[in-house]
Amino acid sequence: MKNKDSHSHVSGKSVFIDDIPELQGTLHAVPVLSSIAHARILSTDFSEVKKAAGVIAVLSAKDIEGHNQIGGIIPDEPLFAEEEVHFIGQPIAVIIAETHFAAKEARQKVKIEYEAKEVITDPRIAKEKGHLLFPPRTFSNGDTEKGFQESDYVFYGRADSGSQEHLYLETQGSYAIPLENNNIKVYSSTQGPTLVQKTIASVLGLSMHHIEVDVTRLGGAFGGKEDQATPWAVMAALAVKKLKRPVKIILDREDDMIATGKRHPYTSDFKIGLDKNLKINAFEVSYYQNGGAAADLSPAILERTLFHVTNAYFIPNVKATAYSCKTNITPFTAFRGFGGPQAMFVMESAIALAAEKLQVKASEIQSKNLLKEKDEFHYGQICDSNNARLCWDTLNRSFNIRQLEEDIKSFNAKHIFAKKGLAIMPICFGISFTKTSMNQARALVHVYQDGSIGVSTGAIEMGQGVNTKLMQVAASVFSVDISRIKIESTNTTRVANTSPTAASSGADLNGKALLLACQEILSRLKNKAATILDADILDIELKNEIVLVDKNPTKLRWETLIETAFLDRIKLSEVGHYSTPTINFDKSIEKGHPFAYHVYGTAAITVHLNCITGVYEIEDVKIVHDFGQSINLTLDKGQVEGAVVQGIGWVTTEELDWDEQGNLLANTLSKYKVPDIFSAPKSIETIPLKTKGSEMAILKSKAVGEPPFMYGIGAFFALQDAIKAFNKDYSPDFLAPLTPEKVLLALYSK
Ligand code: MOS
């Protein structure tokens, strides 16, 4: 089954926030953003703004009746700056006007006097000065000191990875509508409707039941709308409360790029110890996470970094410390992989450095250290499969990697100014929110009198196809045609207290809750069928809309069964509740069993490099991926392909930098190079690993959103491999992204 939205997406019929028909009297909001990275606000003057054509109001901190606070984990971020600003793009006020353009025109008339303060953008400097967003954490196992003593080789290095713009096609936005009795209905392009509801209530000084948040779908999110969709929805709702009129806010692309958080840049120091047989004995690492000006989701992201220190390898002695450094940049936030890619890039850099120094192939070191069943992760969980090895071996066999290496060698021998490079990238990614309490979900199912079915869950459709998977789950339990299932919008009045759709776990958590609700209704229906057919309930089955007794079809069909059950006053609605069993984590010792399961895979990435210009192409990506027992390989392969391209973009062409004043340099699409169809790999081939799958995954179909992102990291090392083939003097450093500009410099470096 294809994504159920495919057709309406390509024909332009899918509804996003800005497509919702506007109610009469709708107003439009545009935020006033700080133009200074760190300053005391001496005065604000909106008098000219208020006089401008079409302007209705300017709202700022003094208009807030509740708490001027939107920090999700740590309360350290005001909705509107009051006395100080801490980053360029920080909201100070919001202009409400008859049209978006009137508000935007009026914004030029804002007068703010600042007294500039010291701007810090470098996390290492922030750390030196003691500017941390929250205390550092250390995960460890074994004894690294002893591990290094017992190592034959020890290498030190540094690895830095850059930021990344989510570049969701639909920018941040919200449409809020006044209802009677102070109630507000809010459409929001958010991954976390409950967070939006809760934050609006808190800022407006209302209870949560006054606020209804509704989401049909998002035009992409990638983590950028887990926390950071919230402030815009709060601004719209605040304006609704003040003005009693519908208010819409849709950020322009440039405002979105400047004001909203991105992937955390990391800079890290590592030390790796290996024995003569290339077994990694010990690994130490310090991560300096650039957190930006407020905590946002950084504590959780930093935690996931610490979980993914060793990627897909077993290392007996590990010590990893992570610092979240406070800088004067927009608060960095969730982005596909959630701190995992940053850790895995450091691990792969350490292996690449060791390989370079020892003059062996990185893949030899990788292969010798892959996780095996019963290995203990450094956080205490026991590895429950040999899937890391199985993926690796299947890749080598299925795609004949040895031959590929030979082909590349002979290509490089034949060409002077064109070189190819190859890298192998294994991955291992833990599935579950690392905060145990977030691993819960609910689903509400109605079977209507005519046999059609309405499903509400907490899952957010953001293009990944979760709604399609949910339809499959409901249809499979009842064994009815997929056309009978409708997935309703995600709405806080139907399904409450939801976790954001994030951590790759949307289909697992909401799917399991849906499964439970459907099974409950199914057992009532079977009971009814047993009565009608005078059979034992254990012999009853529903298959393709027909009731079977002892595997034999009867005349009783789905529609009749439902009609009869309804007339007999049987409950045809149910709420399912799921909370992931067995998971736990004890922060006081940093040990536990935080993940329901792990996802594994291995990719081989080949690049082609023009050694005169530094321009490169990603030739192909070959992958063996652990989908478990995929219930929808079309969707799942789509997720792999999209993630791979996004991962490649992160380490190759997507470059975000800030100048010393804290200005984002790539603040428009003309300055930010996201992979397009020409720079995407020429081919991506994905083979599913043959495996039984995990009972903890929905219908044994493993989570797929984030894990394949990390395959992209291989492009960085494949490029280095190609550079080495041209420049024998090249000594690699580990500073991602490796843009064509940096490649050109590397090709001719001494
Ligand atoms: Mo995702 S990066 O866990 O929203």
Proportion of the chain above pLDDT 90, given as a percent: 99
C-alpha angle 239-230-58 in degrees, rounded to nearest 5 = 25
Q: How many beta carbons lie within 10 A of that of residue 105, not counting itself?
A: 18
Q: Which stretches of the chain drop beneath a pLDDT of 70?
A: none
Q: What is the pLDDT of residue 571?
A: 98
Average pLDDT of the chain, as a whole number = 98
Give, in order, the Cα–Cα distances in Å from 355 to each of 85, 152, 320, 609: 46, 14, 22, 22
Q: What is the pLDDT of residue 24?
A: 97
Q: Is 429 in the pocket of ligand 1 (CB under 6 A)?
A: no
Q: How far is the CA of 505 from the centre of ligand 1 (A)?
A: 9
Which residue is listed with tokens 């939107």? 70
Rg (CA), the chain: 27
Please indicate whether residue 685 is annotated as part of the active site: no
Proportion of the chain above pLDDT 70, given as a percent: 100
Assign 81 to helix, strand or coil.
Answer: coil
Q: What is the pLDDT of residue 663?
A: 98
Q: What is the pLDDT of residue 678?
A: 87
H/E element holding 592?
strand 591-593
Is residue 326 a contact partner of residue 133, using CB atoms and an 8 Å limit? yes
Q: What is the pLDDT of residue 117?
A: 98
What amino acid is encoded at 19 in this protein?
D
Q: Is 296 in the pocket of ligand 1 (CB under 6 A)?
A: no
Choice among 77, 461, 654, 706 that is catalytic: 706
CA distance 131 to 205: 32
Q: What sign does the CA torsion over 550, 553, 558, 562 have?
A: negative
| N residues, the chain | 750
pLDDT in tens, 414-431: 999 999 999 999 999 999
**Strand-strand pairing, 153-161 and 266-274:** antiparallel
Q: Is 334 in the pocket of ligand 1 (CB under 6 A)?
A: yes
- pTM metric for this prediction: 0.98
Q: What is the pLDDT of residue 62?
A: 97
Which residue is listed with tokens 């909705």? 79
CA distance 513 to 495: 11
Q: What is the pLDDT of residue 679?
A: 86
CA distance 313 to 320: 15
Q: Is 703 in the pocket of ligand 1 (CB under 6 A)?
A: no
Instruction: At 726, list the tokens.
Output: 């041209």
Q: What is the pLDDT of residue 2?
A: 86
Q: What is the pLDDT of residue 647?
A: 98
Query: Taking Cα atoms as reference points, which of 64, 82, 79, 60 lies closest to residue 205?
Result: 64
Q: Is 536 exposed, middle or buried (0-12, 13-18, 19+ CB in 10 A)?
A: exposed
CA distance 533 to 525: 12
Instruction: At 712, list the tokens.
Output: 């992209």
C-alpha angle 590-592-595 in degrees, rounded to nearest 5 = 115
Q: What is the pLDDT of residue 1?
A: 76
Query: Taking Cα atoms as reference points, which of 290, 255, 329 lies closest to residue 37?
Result: 329
Instruction: At 290, list the tokens.
Output: 């650039």
Give, in order, the Cα–Cα distances in Å from 426 to each of 311, 345, 604, 666: 8, 11, 9, 31
C-alpha angle 267-268-270 in degrees, rounded to nearest 5 = 160
pLDDT in tens, 113-158: 999 999 999 999 999 999 999 999 999 999 999 999 999 999 999 9
Q: How far is the CA of 326 from the centre of ligand 1 (A)?
A: 21
Cis peptide before 299 (omega within 30 of 0): no
Q: Is 164 in the pocket of ligand 1 (CB under 6 A)?
A: no
73, 305, 336, 710, best to mutate for ligand 1 pocket (most atoms within 8 Å of CB): 336
Nearest ligand 1 atom to alpha carbon 223:
4
